[in-house]
Structure 1
Amino acid sequence: MPNMKKATASDNIVGMRIDMDIYRMNIDAIVSHLKRGFKRSDDFKIGIEIEHFVFDSNDRSAGYEKILDVMKDIMGEDDKPYYLEGHLIGFYNDRYSISLEPASQLEISIAPCASADELVCIYRDFRRILDPVLSRYNLRVECYGYNPYESAQELDIIPKKRYEYMDRYFQKAGTRGRNMMRATASVQVSVDYSDENDAIRKYRLAAILSPVLSLMMDNSPVFEKQPAAMHMVRAYVWDGVDADRCVIMDGCLAPDFSFEKYAEYIMNMPAILVMEGETAVYTDDKKIKDIYAERVMTDEEVMHVLSMAFFDVRLKNYIEIRMADSCNIDKAAWYARIICNIFYNDDNMGKAEEYFAGVGQKDVLEARESLIQHGKDGIIYGKKAECVVRFVTELGSNAAVKE
């Protein structure tokens, strides 16, 4: 008969120590991943992702099967396809990767470059491959922040369990998850950092700038097939997705914000799903720290849990600035240059920090709400929006070391 020794208080304490040790090690695993992004300033680059809606001649979304045919036709001999659960969901090469967002939005993620001009060249090369193929299928791409022709309920999710589970979770986490996944498209710009202090400094400034950049890149005239009654439709949509993981990270503007604080926040988020090999497993609202309570995460798992945060500014082993609406390449390049010229120029960073001194998280949310309601007539941190936009635009027009 097995020894049925009764658990004692000391046994519980030992078990707790083991759990806390593993929790600490998982925090360290996330921090270590973020630190692997450290780069010399001479090696700083800028990356960009642009999402496109793909429509047919009747202004209907092309859908997964048609996009799949397009992807097969534009893949070259040197392109490497990738599959998930038996489904082709994209391909990549040394210059860019192509993938599908939840409702078949077509995304190009361009490998980080030394300048916005290089990003433009790569993008235009891709379009020279893509556009003739689209034409053969009577399809076209358009870039907006929100689908101008269809409502979210008319659009289907591609066969990818990650998106199926996110869709399920967001239906209870908020009211606009379906809108976000099916009907939005963005431009995302990524910047590098030299050390933790540099990363935190850039993260904070990007969070403060987020309402301004949203307004500058507002490109959503339509919401649910009607002229938009609000400005910054994508910001409005994200406000209603999931308060735990969207818009602005709670505490990111506090004096003690750090990689460790970011890692702790991630560990205490509901996971939604985890990956077991190539299989997505739904975990609902179970927290990441509880899922990995008995073992240390692999680096692949660290990358996955970081990808499940959807703040306007996201830390990976670079900083992802995510609040811009999708737009044409000329405006996207203009935007990337502004980001580059602010975040890669210490003088410009200092001027921006001085201009926005004292801004807190509550101020960011109030500015966001004012701009959604009033657009360029709104108020940003006690100033007229048009004045703040002018300051940021002029500051971002000053040449940086990379341009």
Structure 2
Amino acid sequence: MAETSKAEPVRTMADLVSYFESGNKPREKWRIGAEHEKFAFHLDTLRRPAYEGPDGIEAMLVGLERFGWKPYYENGNIIALLKNGASVTLEPGGQFELSGAPLETIHDICNETGQHLEEVKTVASELKLGFIGLGFSPLWTREETPVMPKGRYNIMRAYMPKVGKLGLDMMLRTCTVQANLDYGDEADMVLKFRTSLALQPIATALFANSPFIEGKPSGFLSARANVWTDTDPDRTGMLDFVFEDGFGFERYAKYALGVPMYFVKREGAANGGYIDASGQDFKAFLKGELPVLPGELPTMDDWADHLTTLFPEVRLKKYLEMRGADAGPWGRLCALPALWAGLLYDQPSLEAAWELVRGWSNDDHNTLRGMAARTGLKGEIAGRPVKNWAMDVLEIAKQGLKNRNRLSGGLIDETGYLAELFEIAESGLTPADRLLEKFNGVWQGDFRKLYEEEAY
């Protein structure tokens, strides 16, 4: 039987809101967190490796321990590595994720990312594995994709098909790059949330890098972004209410309360400590009426866990998560946090970015989201070409990074990390467009060329 949590119970809306309020930070303590996922593959067959075996994902994790990473276990299986505020974790299909430490500058993030990739390459080469950054697995079906031994994923895999057609694809066959940023207070959070949510489809377009599914062009430039349109309507999307008057911490908490639960985590429970509460109501939990834990009230840890099961394009926790970009090569892993830091961490740039998009309607937001997945920077929104909006956004971000004036070696600011994004916007051709050109041209449909040229 699961142990009852001994933490202070959560009882009221004020308790739930206090979780978000605890994220308020003065500007001097703002940090940037970067996360990215990548696909492992066997060099000889290009297949995704299983967890077990001498050349599997478990062996990768064990191999990385030599670099000072400390293992974390669930049910006797190593499922994560921890070091200096950073972690290496596993997505459901074995996607390898680096969740970086909260750092001050993009230079720091790029150094952390580069060191991680060098460590990964060292171990992977010994195991005859490679790693590649794409938004969607280009060759393998769901059935051909291995599944990692993590308890919460067992619950999600059973629940996902009940609420959407593509949720299992999201779990098993997608990779993203993400940036996490702080807020000063509720008003600052609101402005950053609205601005970043409106602009998230622009980031999706700039980073679109997943045009293939199961060995052929999919009809989308970001198959990853399209997956989110049919995963689970309760916990995904553009959150129209964020743009309504009165939006704040409490309104987001009410939204989160309305999202069905996945699980409750209790030490000693089976399935790695995860109790299946899929489809159950957190509001009932607040009343001590959760069917799987009758009479028990939630703790703040339960609330924090529940918030991780929401998947909107921008997510609020004790910071804001920008979630709408495909994984890609090394350089673009640094570009995403640079883009959002430039837009959100300089006040004049934040205000300019909001002025740029404040006239967009909810229909514009949702139309642009779908357009970004299918056609990238092509098309128009609110009377202008999408690529023109992207150029405006990048210019604002560049000025924001100039104003931040965070120098490497006392000489180089952070604006250089946007260079590839400017090239993409100016050309109007996304990374996915370039991959399709090669696939239909010099690669002559040979996916081995994709893995050879795009691998880390």
Which range moves more in the overlay, 24-33 or 319-328? 24-33
The question of whether the paired residues in 1 share the 8 Å contact of 2:262 and 2:306 is answered with: no
Q: Compute the displacement of 1:123 (Å).
A: 1.5
The correspondence for 1:63, drawn from 46, 50, 61, is 50
Equivalent position to 1:180, from 170, 175, 199: 170
Name the TM-score, length of structure 2 as normaliser: 0.80
Point out the more displaced range, 52-61 or 324-333. Answer: 324-333
Partner Cα separation in structure 2 for residue 353 and residue 111 of structure 1: 28
1:104 matched to 2:94? The reply is yes
1:231 corresponds to which residue? 221
Query: How far apart in 1 are the matches of 2:403 and 2:261?
Result: 39
Change (3 A) 1:95 1:128: farther
Query: Partners of 2:58 and 2:333 in 1: how far apart?
Result: 26
Spell out, residue by residue over 1:1-52, the C-alpha distance to the aligned partner (whole angstroms, 9 max, x if none): xxxxxxxxxxxxxxxxxxxxxx993422321111111111122111100101
Residue in 1 that maps onto 2:420: none
Q: What does 1:219-258 correspond to in 2, within 5 Å?
A: 219-258=209-248
Give CA-to-partner distance per residue, 1:139-191, whole Å, 9 cap, x none: 01100000122122321321112111111111010110111111000001000
CA 1:190/1:400 → structure 2, altered by over 3 Å: closer, same or farther?
farther
Matches within 5 A, 1:242-391: 242-277=232-267, 279-294=273-288, 296-391=297-392
SS at match of 2:250: helix
Quote the residue 1:401 is aligned against. 404
Inter-partner Cα distance in structure 2 for 1:293 and 1:357: 39
The C-alpha deviation readout for 1:175-213, integer Å capped at 9, x for no partner, is 101111110000010001011110111011111011111
Tell whether the 8 Å contact from 2:80 to 2:90 is kept in structure 1 after alignment: yes
Q: Does 1:29 align with 2:23?
A: no
After superposition, the CA RMSD in angstroms is: 1.8
Q: Contact 1:370–1:380 at 8 Å: present in 2 too?
A: no
Give yes or no for contact 1:342–1:400 (8 Å, CA) kept in 2. Answer: no
**Distance in 1, Cα, partners of 2:379 & 2:263:** 38
1:19 maps to none
Q: 8 Å contact 2:206–2:376 — kept in the other structure?
A: no
Determine if contact 1:191/1:319 at 8 Å carries over to the other structure.
Answer: yes
- The runs of at least 4 consecutive aligned structure 1 residues that moved more than 6 Å come to none
State how far apart, in whole Å, the 2-side matches of 1:371 and 1:126 are.
30
Residues 38, 226 of structure 1: alpha-carbon distance in 2 compared, 3 angstrom cutoff: same
- Does the CA contact (< 8 Å) of 2:177 and 2:336 recur in 1? no
Matches within 5 A, 1:152-191: 152-191=142-181
Higher strand share: 1
The residue identity in structure 1 corresponding to 2:181 is V
Equivalence for 2:40: 54
Deviation, structure 1 residue 70: 1.2
- 1:216 has 2:206 as partner: yes
Does the 8 A contact of 2:31 with 2:181 survive in 1?
yes
- For 1:309 and 1:218, the matched residues in 2 are separated by 22
Say if 1:324 and 1:402 are closer, same or farther in 2 by CA, change over 3 A. farther
Kindly indicate whether the alpha-carbon contact (under 8 Å) linking 1:153 and 1:178 is maintained by their aligned counterparts in 2.
Answer: no
Percent of matched pairs sharing the same residue: 27
Distance 1:246 1:84 in 2: 28
- 1:299: Cα distance to partner? 2.2
What CA deviation, in whole Å up to 9, does each residue of 1:266-306 have, x standing for no partner?
Answer: 11211022212251112231111113322543221121011
> Which is further off, 47-56 or 354-363?
354-363
Matches within 5 A, 1:116-155: 116-155=106-145
On the 8 A contact 2:180/2:319 being kept in 1, the answer is yes
Q: CA deviation at 1:77?
A: 7.4
Amino acid at match of 1:49: E
CA distance, structure 1, for counterparts of residue 114 and residue 370 of structure 2: 36
Q: Which moved more, 1:228-237 or 1:194-203?
A: 228-237
Q: Which runs of 5+ in 1 are unaligned?
A: 1-22
Aligned in 2, Cα 1:247/1:153: closer, same or farther, shift over 3 Å?
farther
Give 1:83's aligned residue. 73
- Paired residues, number: 382
> Per the alignment, in what secondary structure is the counterpart of residue 246 of structure 2?
coil
Aligned partners of 1:377 and 1:385 also within 8 Å = yes
2-side partners of 1:26 and 1:248: how far apart? 27
Q: Which residue of the partner structure matches residue 410 of structure 2? A: none
Provide structure 2 residue ranges, at least 5 long, that are not aligned to the other structure: 1-8, 289-295, 407-456
Query: Shift in Å at residue 127 of structure 1?
Result: 2.2
Cα distance in 2, alignment partners of residues 365 and 342 from structure 1: 21
Tell me the distance in 2 between the aligned counterparts of 1:287 and 1:85. Answer: 27
The code of the aligned residue for 2:321 comes to E
On the 8 A contact 1:29/1:302 being kept in 2, the answer is no
| 1:301-348 per-position Cα deviation (integer Å, ceiling 9, x unaligned) | 121011010111001100000011111221121221111111001111
1:289/1:387 CA distance change after superposition, 3 Å? same
